[in-house]
Structure 1
């Protein structure tokens, strides 16, 4: 097998597995840039996966292949609303943001499993009939070499995720809204003095994190797993959180880190097809993303500076 053949296997698999991580990591960036730590990304992804699968199962007989795309929108809204639990606790009641994030993860796990049992009378849903399938991009997939590597057998959600990462970068660093969002995460008192409503901006940041994590969870469920169980999201939210930190709270950095973790995850899927990895026990390939996460954060997190007010509740008039 040539090096080109290996790229044709690995790069599409990387883009395929990275898309949910990209969306969720961008959600983390929005929340923490506003000054609210959100380790509840795992729970928000789980809730998005639940909403996405249930919506698809409900609509697929009437709208067909459009069902998963409608479901992604529903999942984004549902997880955005669910994230208000974290926002109210962290911003309005000034609870410990780490504890609130852990509570979100636990609440999502228990609530989704309870609802699945109530709706379907079993511990998991059926598999959806319509997934977000891998597809070839018309015309671009016909380009020699490049077409096979970057534009063949890849879901459109992967390209959308990359585009959204660039869009989020532009919004955060090139627009007045982004300046206000960053200001309340860096120096909320100065922002308040300039007439910016700190709590409102932080609410927006947390809700946006829920929206993006909901998209990430639904994309994972509808493109990779195909159904929903209590273990559909098993660590992907924490990988996305690590990607956000590894990417230094920057949308493009988070994109790159998510692609890196997507590559590590893809090895467990494609390892059997690659000669150099065929003899490695599968368990090592499965744990590779988490080992690489620890190594990456150990090497780089000390050099990354979080927003200065991240994790600190704001009390008007207090320094």
Structure 2
């Protein structure tokens, strides 16, 4: 009788599982994307280079404790330099991929930052770009996206696809405006927005978890329902008595002593309204809770392998239901930002598709709270950038600038995220056997 050791076994004898473990898939997606952007950089910065300097200002509207000097960048020279570096970095990424190594995220971040600075210098020749204002506006546009992304992460980590983020934002915006206007209390408006987002989530959870209705269909129907309902109530009730029902008080700005005096980032991050600070807390709590608490472990287990979670005594459907509802409450706060912290009143379709962008941030962020937050900030930055460049008279066509936020969304989701895997049971109803 002969025996064989693990070292002596052939791949065929080891079975398909061992073969799959030895198989390395080479993903050229990131390298191709970097190469395409390098070609664009050559055409734009060399072929259509512009002469002159662009000035970057780092002061805010307030009295800065430390005043940073302005920075003048020669657009043509810096553009040529960045184009050459982009080609070299794309070649470096190709070399890493060829040797079956992944292009590091820091590498991509440096590449993107250089291209962004060169683009801003090229587009603002002869003008002064207020960097602090650009960043502050980007954060303002990102706040509802981040709240939506946090709610989406909680829902999808538990196994429920949340297409209804748009509806939850709209419901939160509408209810917060009405309640804050009638009670003259912004706190009441914030609480009401959370309740509104939770109610929309109740419907999503009930139909998708209890009655096993397709989760994507339920989400789309809810978005259309809330949009139609809020538009109807706005035109028939709010527009006729705006002074009473649609004139909410605005959240005051609260500067954090010391931190708000930090150059550039201080006025952007630490001179904000309470809802922005609640956003910071929400991101921190969701990130910590999801990966370092018993609650987070249970939530991830019902989203990855509900059968296994059920065998150890976890009530799968109950866990999903309450966490989808919790996510709705968080998204509702994002809706309140439109009426209490940004626009100042409810208008028809005030969210303008922000819920769908938040869902894209969840996917781009690979269902991770921190990464989803960074993705939401990217989309907010792209949205604000088109406004700033339009004001400064950029040579980029205005129609293209309006497309910019959605173009970044498509490129990010389809081109740069590489291989991405959703939670194993995401979108799959659990039927207890």
- Normalising by structure 2, we get a TM-score of 0.66
The answer to whether the Cα contact below 8 Å between 1:116 and 1:123 also exists between their aligned partners in 2 is no
Q: How many residues align?
A: 308
Alignment pair present for 1:130 and 2:249: yes
| Equivalence map 1:34-45=2 (5 Å) | 34-45=158-169
Alpha carbons of structure 1 residues 280 and 156: separation in structure 2 relative to 1, 3 Å: farther
Deviation of 1:135 after TM superposition, in Å, equals 4.9
TM-score normalised according to structure 1 size: 0.89
Instruction: Render the CA deviation track for 1:93-135: whole Å, top value 9, x for unaligned.
Output: 0001110001110111122223334533649786525213555
Larger radius of gyration: 2
Asked if the contact 2:166/2:223 (under 8 Å) is kept, the reply is yes
Matched, 1:15 2:139: yes
Question: What residue number does 2:58 align with?
Answer: 4
What does residue 26 of structure 1 align with?
A: 150
CA distance in 1, matches of 2:204, 2:212: 10
The residue that corresponds to 1:56 in the other structure is 180
Aligned to 1:292: 408
Q: Does structure 2 retain, via aligned residues, the 8 Å contact 1:271–1:278?
A: yes
Distance across 2 between alignment mates of 1:271 and 1:10: 10
Which residue does 1:107 correspond to in 2? Answer: 225
Deviation at 1:169, TM superposition (A): 0.8
1:1-319 superposed matches below 5 A: 1-5=55-59, 6-60=130-184, 67-120=185-238, 122=240, 128-152=247-271, 154-272=272-390, 275=392, 278-317=394-433
Confirm or deny: 8 A CA contact 1:162 1:255 kept in the other structure: no
CA contact (8 A) 1:15 1:158 kept: no
User: Helix, strand or coil: the match of 1:252?
Assistant: helix
**SS at 1:2 equivalent:** strand
Higher strand share: 2
Residue of structure 2 equivalent to 1:64: none
Measured after TM superposition, the shift of residue 138 of structure 1 is 3.1
Deviation at 1:208, TM superposition (A): 1.5
1:227 is paired with a residue of what secondary structure? coil
Q: Which runs of 5+ in 2 are unaligned?
A: 1-54, 60-129
- State the Cα deviation string for residues 121-169 of structure 1 (Å, max 9, x = none): 64978652521355543332234454345434x3342233123111101
Distance in 2 between the 1:29 and 1:55 partners?
Answer: 28
* Greater shift in the superposed pair: 286-295 or 39-48: 286-295
Equivalent-residue separation in structure 2 for 1:58 and 1:164 (angstroms)? 27
- Deviation at 1:289? 1.2
1:3 CA drift (Å): 4.9
Whole-Å Cα distance in 1 between the matches of residues 251 and 383 of structure 2? 19
Q: Distance in 1 between matches of 2:153 and 2:246?
A: 32
Counterparts of 1:92 and 1:272 in 2: how far apart (Å)? Answer: 49
Instruction: Tell me how far apart the structure 1 counterparts of residues 404 and 241 of structure 2 sit (CA, whole Å).
Output: 29
Question: Does structure 2 retain, via aligned residues, the 8 Å contact 1:52–1:221?
Answer: yes
